[in-house]
Amino acid sequence: MTGTEPFDDVALLVSKAAGGDQAAWNEIVGRFGRRVWATCRAYRLSQADAADVFQQTWLRVLENLDSLRDPARLGAWIGTTCRNEALVALRRAKRAMPVGQPWLLDRPTDPDDDPERPFLIADRDAELWAAFRRLSPRCQQVLRVLVVEAEDGRPSYENAAAALDMPIGSLGPTRGRCLTHLRQFLTEGISGAEAGS
């Protein structure tokens, strides 16, 4: 999704998997699985919906193995596919809600969301992570969606606005505000740590 994966390597995996090599397929799933999952979760799909979108994304990859124009760009293709599928799933969840129900941003934090996250985070990222977690749930979500949308360098603000259920025009100012808060918490966190040492 960042395009940093070694070119030949991914193209080779795709061609092996297209040739029927299960091990190559497993490697593809292993390599991109976390990012696909992160995308599902950024859109705040329930665990069950996220699992469905995850599975659906891989089935779409599977049926396109032979026809990918640029196999080296597999990561980007997977990312786009997953975001589109997540958006459709989200739209259906939204439709199922009663009129006027603030359905997304005000949902209680998913209890699955927090506890296991930090252990995968490297020390150097811990401060940024801690600062991020101090943001309001709304800011956290806005930044999550923007980060995922920005992944392949062509963020769709339309999709992000739809996913966040906010007017497209307020996306930029909200992002700016959230990033300001994030920087502020980051500075406080660092200076706090220095003061304490």
Partner 1 sequence: MNDPTTPDDGRLLARLGAILNDAEEPPADVMELARQSFTLRRLDAELASLVEDSDGPAASVRSVAVRGSAREPRQLTFQIVDEQGRDELIIAVQVESVGRRRRLTGHLAPQGPAYIEVRQPTVPKARGVDADRRGLFVIDDVLPGPMSLTCRRAGGPAVATQWTLL
Among positions 25-54, residues that touch partner 1 (CB under 8 A) are 25-26, 29-30, 33-38, 41-42, 47, 51-54
Q: Which stretch binds partner 1 (CB under 8 A): 7-15, 166-174, 189-197?
A: 166-174
Name which of 159, 20, 145, 153 is nearest 75 in CA terms: 153
Residues numbered 65-84 forming contacts with partner 1, rule: CB under 8 A: 65, 84
Separation in Å, CA 8 to CA 5, 15, 36: 9, 10, 22
Q: Which stretch binds partner 1 (CB under 8 A): 7-15, 143-151, 188-196?
A: 143-151
Residue written as tokens 């292993």?
A: 30
Using CB under 8 A as the binding rule, whether residue 101 contacts partner 1 is answered as yes
Q: Which of 16, 31, 94, 181 lies at the binding interface for partner 1 (CB under 8 A)?
A: 94
Number of residues that bind partner 1 (CB under 8 A): 71
Minimum distance from CB of 51 to partner 1 (Å)?
Answer: 5
Query: Which residues make Cβ contacts (< 8 Å) with residue 24, sequence separation at least 6?
Result: 13, 14, 16, 17
Minimum distance from CB of 8 to partner 1 (Å)?
Answer: 22
